[in-house]
Chain A
Amino acid sequence: MLSRLTALLICVASLVTAHEMTPAYPEIKPSHVKGVVKAQLTLVNQREDIKYYLVEVFDKNFINIPFSSPYRIMKLDYKERKNFEVYLRKIDLRRAVYICTTSKVLKQRSSKTLVSSRICSRIDGGTA
């Protein structure tokens, strides 16, 4: 009984602090603007300590690639899910490899290490 309760508590404790982004390999689709393509992703914030996520696009060496999105810094309340689109120029598509979201940690008042989480999806048709 105690072990079940402990397991439950561990599960509950771990469920409230997650950062999740899907899909791992978003589909690139044409947008309504000529020469611009888009990818649609979903972000879920289950980190109670985080409210903002930064959206970035990188090449294979993690150098920034220009992009457009309605949410460059996205506010997500605890347990909120948001679909968002990332627009890229077709000419940048050859270099672009990753779309990443990074949690933005707030300034703290105690001596500690904070965990910034980042999840990167792959848009170059990467292989697993």
Chain B
Amino acid sequence: MKYSLAVLSLCALPAYANVNITGNVAAKCVIQTDKSGVYGNPSASVLSTAPSDGGVLPVVRFDVALADYYTANITHPTSFSSSPVLSDSVAWTGSTAVTNTSDAGMSGYNAAKTVVGSTTIFDLTVAGSTWFSTSSTATYAASKPFSGGTYVAVVQATCIAK
């Protein structure tokens, strides 16, 4: 018995198996809403997201896995999505800027941005994360006071494959 076990143990070769781990890095864009904005009401006829006006700037982060596959198109509001009834027109202003980046190569994004109407377009030429903040100001016509109530506007953050 001992002999047969010894013979068998000599025959039992160790089994090897190669287990592959594969991965795929593909072009991908993820939009993160870091902060929803808040309108401050510095005067009766003005709603503003500027911190100096008591507001909070909305912050959106774009993560792209590969360089040069996407553009970030961010549109500041030009109307309220919900508000009390307003009998007069509202003047809108706004802008979008890069406020933080994960890579030094993104430092030129602000200088290279293009503005078309209310939309600011950034070419995401470097892989990584970019933080954008959007300012928005609504001024009621002829400096009339806004009616009491809740005012909501929407910032559209779009990631478009090139």
Chain A residues packing against B (C-beta within 8 Å): 13-15, 17-25, 47, 49, 98, 100, 105, 107-122, 126-128
Contacts and interface: CB of A to CB of B under 8 A. Distances in A.
Given A13-B34, A25-B27, A107-B82, A113 B77 contact: yes
Given A105-B81, A128-B69, A114 B30 contact: no
Contacts of B106: none
9 contacts: A17-B33, A24-B69, A107-B82, A114-B155, A115-B37, A118-B158, A120-B159, A127-B162, A128-B68
B160 A120 contact: yes
B154 interface: yes
B81 to A, nearest CB: 7
A122 B28 contact: no
B35 to A, nearest CB: 9
A93 B25 CA distance: 27
Please report whether the interface of chain A is mostly helix, strand, loop or mixed according to DSSP.
strand
Given A113-B38, A114-B81, A18 B161 contact: no
Please report whether the interface of chain B is mostly helix, strand, loop or mixed according to DSSP.
strand
Contact of B41 (A108, A111, A115): A111
A22 B28 CA distance: 6
Given A107-B82, A119-B158, A113 B136 contact: yes
B150 A109 contact: yes
B29 A116 contact: no
A113 B158 contact: no
A24 B58 contact: no
Contacts of A110: 38, 150, 152
